[in-house]
């Protein structure tokens, strides 16, 4: 089934949407860079979310459309992974924002990102340009050997060593020239290690642009003004769409997304900006958005309804520069690319609204809500 889906994407309309990545899908870092070259599509399956020492799951023929019928997520039931909380249940990532007021600059933000642009899943099955589609992660035991890591932005990075296994999955694959995120979850200590622009070295160490370590049981934010492995200074893993939660029928957290142009500013819980532009019509890093409550979800496939319901209840968090309304997730061979791409692109930027979450802030240096 995944192979047939990928062939359909190659031949059909889905290819045009994936090709948007050539126009800035992963523009990056402290200031945006030029768009990447046009990728070449392949259908070779790839390992995705990994748990050591257990091998990554193999592809399955079970269609994603068998997902549990959509239900409104239960308040207070925070997400978990490998026995660890993915941040506390009362963290800003994991609380509903469907009743909060619309941000005063909502219309301008939506217009600047693209009111007519459709939502695009920056994750899926198979490979794109030789690498997995999405941001993979690996779960390791507490006994995983630590390796040295050096950083380009050492003054805003958590120093190593990090528990990186030799075969850790890299965003885009080993030959990628993109963001090359590496995400490692220590499942015994519930600590998350994330790297941006990560390259293994011949001596067993790693070189990276930046890196951050997060205690997943804590509300602590990065120091003000610091980046992380993401441009907004936020953790990446808590905002990724995972197949398992979609199949279970509910996503209980906000979803990471990108915008083509952002402002030289950030709002809670973000800690870092990635722009030189000061136009107030541009959204700041960390800005929250949600799908409007009136948007009709009938007619969408079950797995797409789960994603869209999360966008209504928990919303989206702007975390990086990139293509308009590209939402992030974990690669998985069970994703149906054709369904994800062709249905999510029906949802336009004008169907969203920016949200003012400032009333939830308990402490500017904490992700805990009131």
Taking the C-alpha atoms of residue 351 and residue 147, their distance in angstroms, rounded to an integer, is 45
Taking the C-alpha atoms of residue 71 and residue 298, their distance in angstroms, rounded to an integer, is 13
pLDDT tens profile 137-181: 999 999 999 999 999 999 999 999 999 999 999 999 999 999 999
366 pLDDT higher than 70: yes
The C-alpha angle 71, 76, 81, rounded to 5 degrees, equals 85
Mean of all residue pLDDT scores within the chain: 85
60 pLDDT higher than 50: no
Name the phi and psi angles at 326, rounded to 5.
-80, 120
Q: Binning pLDDT at 50, 70 and 90, where does residue 72 land?
A: low
pLDDT tens profile 8-29: 333 333 333 333 333 333 334 4
Taking the C-alpha atoms of residue 240 and residue 135, their distance in angstroms, rounded to an integer, is 8
184 pLDDT higher than 60: yes
CB 313 within 8 A of CB 305: no
Report the pLDDT value the prediction gives residue 47, as an integer from 0 to 100. Answer: 34
Six token digits for residue 127: 């490979």
Report the pLDDT value the prediction gives residue 76, as an integer from 0 to 100. Answer: 55
CB 184 within 8 A of CB 163: yes
Taking the C-alpha atoms of residue 128 and residue 44, their distance in angstroms, rounded to an integer, is 9
Nearest to 332 by CA among 63, 115, 89: 63
**Domain residue spans of the chain:** 2-360
């Amino acid at each position: 089934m995944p192979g047939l889906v990928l062939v359909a994407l190659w031949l059909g309309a889905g290819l045009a949407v994936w090709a948007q990545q050539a126009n800035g899908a992963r523009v990056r870092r402290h200031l945006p860079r030029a768009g990447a070259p046009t990728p070449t599509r392949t259908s070779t399956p790839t390992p995705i979310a990994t748990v050591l020492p257990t091998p990554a799951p193999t592809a399955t023929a079970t269609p994603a459309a068998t997902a549990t019928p959509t239900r409104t997520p239960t308040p207070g039931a925070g997400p978990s992974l490998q026995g660890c909380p993915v941040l506390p249940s009362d963290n800003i990532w994991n609380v509903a924002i469907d009743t909060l007021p619309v941000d005063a600059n909502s219309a301008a933000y939506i217009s600047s990102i693209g009111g007519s642009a459709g939502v695009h899943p920056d994750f899926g099955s198979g490979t794109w340009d030789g690498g997995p589609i999405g941001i993979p992660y690996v779960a390791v035991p507490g006994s995983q050997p630590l390796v040295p890591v050096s950083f380009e932005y050492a003054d805003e990075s958590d120093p190593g060593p990090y528990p990186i296994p030799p075969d850790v999955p890299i965003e885009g694959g080993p030959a990628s020239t993109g963001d090359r995120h590496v995400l490692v979850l220590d499942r015994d200590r519930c600590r998350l290690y994330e790297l941006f622009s990560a390259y293994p070295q011949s001596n067993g160490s790693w070189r990276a642009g930046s890196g951050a370590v997060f205690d997943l049981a804590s509300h602590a934010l990065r120091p003000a003004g610091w980046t992380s492995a993401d441009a907004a200074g936020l953790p990446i893993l808590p905002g990724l769409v995972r197949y398992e939660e979609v199949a279970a029928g509910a996503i209980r957290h906000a979803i990471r997304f990108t915008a083509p142009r952002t402002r030289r500013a950030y709002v809670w819980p973000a800690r870092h900006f990635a722009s030189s532009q000061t136009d107030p019509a541009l959204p700041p890093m960390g800005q929250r958005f949600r799908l409007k409550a009136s948007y009709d979800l009938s007619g969408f496939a079950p797995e797409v309804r789960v994603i869209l319901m999360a966008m209504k209840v928990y919303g989206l968090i702007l975390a990086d520069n990139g293509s308009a309304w590209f939402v992030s997730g974990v690669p998985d061979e069970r994703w149906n690319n054709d369904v994800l791409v062709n249905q999510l692109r029906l949802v336009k930027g004008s169907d969203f609204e920016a949200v003012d979450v400032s009333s939830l802030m308990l402490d500017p240096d904490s992700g805990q809500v009131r």
